[in-house]
Chain A
Amino acid sequence: MSKEKKLPGWKSLPIGGVILNPGSSREYNTGNWVRETCKWNKESCINCNLCWPVCPENAILVDKAGNMIGIDEEKCTACGLCITACPTNPKSLKLESKKLEEI
């Protein structure tokens, strides 16, 4: 609840909960209810991008040049799929508990 945004009231929402802008689920903070999040280790990462396509939440951040730049913790649901995909040893991604004040 630390970063609560002001949401629109019922009068300004589209009738029937219809979503008018395609792909808008990308804007949704899917991970802010989860107690864990994924942490990225820049040192061991080989920038192979194999984690990026498996993430169901668009939480792996990649810049225009294709470089892995981190995890969007607001979106990460700590599913662990990226960790399975990561080829480095040790893994360059791991799950960690969030600090209480981050939840």
Chain B
Amino acid sequence: MQKILNGNEAVALALKQINPDVFAAYPITPSTHIPEVFSSYVANGEVDTEFVPVESEHSAMSACIGAAASGVRAVTATASQGLAYMHEVLWNASGMRLPILLANANRALSAPLSIHGDHSDSMSQRDTGWIQLYADSPQEAYDLTLQAYLIGENAKVRLPVMVCFDGFETSHLSTNVEVLEDKVAKDFVGEVKTLNPLLDLENPVTYGSYTNPDWFFEMRRSQHEGMQNAQKIISEVGKSFGKISGRDYAEPIETLEIEDAESVIVIVGASSGSATEAVVKLRSKGKKVGMLRVRSFRPFPFEAVANALKKAKRVAVCDKTMPAGGVGGPLFAEVSAALLANNLNPKVVNFIYGIGQRQFSPTHAEEIFAKLEEKDCERINFVNLRE
């Protein structure tokens, strides 16, 4: 069944079909639509969710932690400063291994104040121990939301999941979305899978206790294992989602014309649309170009990325966040490391684009392919920036 939905409405609809137990949120542009639409579902009695209109994002994540520890499904939606304000509590969620769902409509961080999209909010949370999946469209935002609990609640994973999608470019883009029948979606998502819930009064447990140096490291190691295991579980859940929807998510990456491509753009999120158009146009002129879109950023699919790039001569890694003094943006660092770890040595160049939602059109993607072929091009380049 097709519906015209923007990214936020698509996520809200997926959440309605999931019918989570607790939704705690504080509104922030560009994700406000999600709690707004969802609270109308609550008011109309279409879900049995306890909607908690908290006083801040810090409280939203804290409420989700309490709910998830008690053994129910908890969700929140946020962006930008809201996600930044959750930062310390994000670590608690992943450290206590609580499979919370967070929908993030990517937006730039202040200052200067911007309400517009880029990836600096969620990329700054990449080390918090959350699984991070990046959608390219309202369709994927819907699909990944439906898959998130099955990934996070898996006994081998037990981690919170962030579904990220570009602010405005996806959150406010109205487009055709293929929606599952309620019953099909509900049967797929199933009942919550708990582990040591606080509300099991017969078996009292303690969450979030203090540890000394003789235990803490072991806990972190176990968390790392959950993240490693998630690679396989993301693939399994993505495959079974394909069976009910016809849209297969078994691969953590998506590729276009990559088999014989000499120049490849590696990108995350909605701007892959512009890159796709550039690839199609340049291919029609006989240029050997391709694209690789990374969907799962945490865990990072090192093998799949390296394998897809093994024949590439030139790789343009596109980051929608600033390098902040790093060797390049976060995607650049991951892709470069994945190549190195697999003894691959193509030319790798970083392109920073779309900061504060600076336009990134197919023409800009074409410019990237052209620049990539220049002999002495810099390691870090800025796309569509005034000098």
Chain A residues in the interface with B (C-beta under 8 A) = 7, 9-11, 13-20, 22
Contact = CB atoms under 8 A, between A and B. Distances in A.
A9 B205 contact: no
Contact of A13 (B95, B204, B205, B219): B219
Contacts of A11: 222
A19 B215 CA distance: 12
A18 B207 contact: yes
Contacts of B96: 16-18
Contacts of B219: 10, 13, 16-17
A20 B196 CA distance: 8
Nearest to A22: B204
Given A7-B214, A18-B96, A13 B206 contact: no
A13 to B, nearest CB: 6
A19 B204 CA distance: 9
Given A17-B209, A19-B206, A22-B204, 4 more contacts: A15-B97, A15-B196, A15-B226, A16-B219
Nearest to B223: A16
B222 A10 contact: yes
B380 to A, nearest CB: 38
Contacts of A14: 196
A71 B50 CA distance: 50
Chain B contact-residue range equals: 20 to 34
Nearest to B98: A16
Interface in B352-371: none
B195 interface: yes
A14 B209 CA distance: 13
Contacts of B225: 10
Of all A-B residue pairs in the complex, the 6 with the closest CB atoms, nearest first, are A16-B97, A10-B218, A19-B206, A10-B221, A16-B96, A17-B219
B209 A19 contact: yes
B110 interface: no
A17 B215 contact: yes
A15 B195 contact: yes
Contacts of A13: 215, 218-219, 222
Nearest to A10: B218
B211 interface: yes
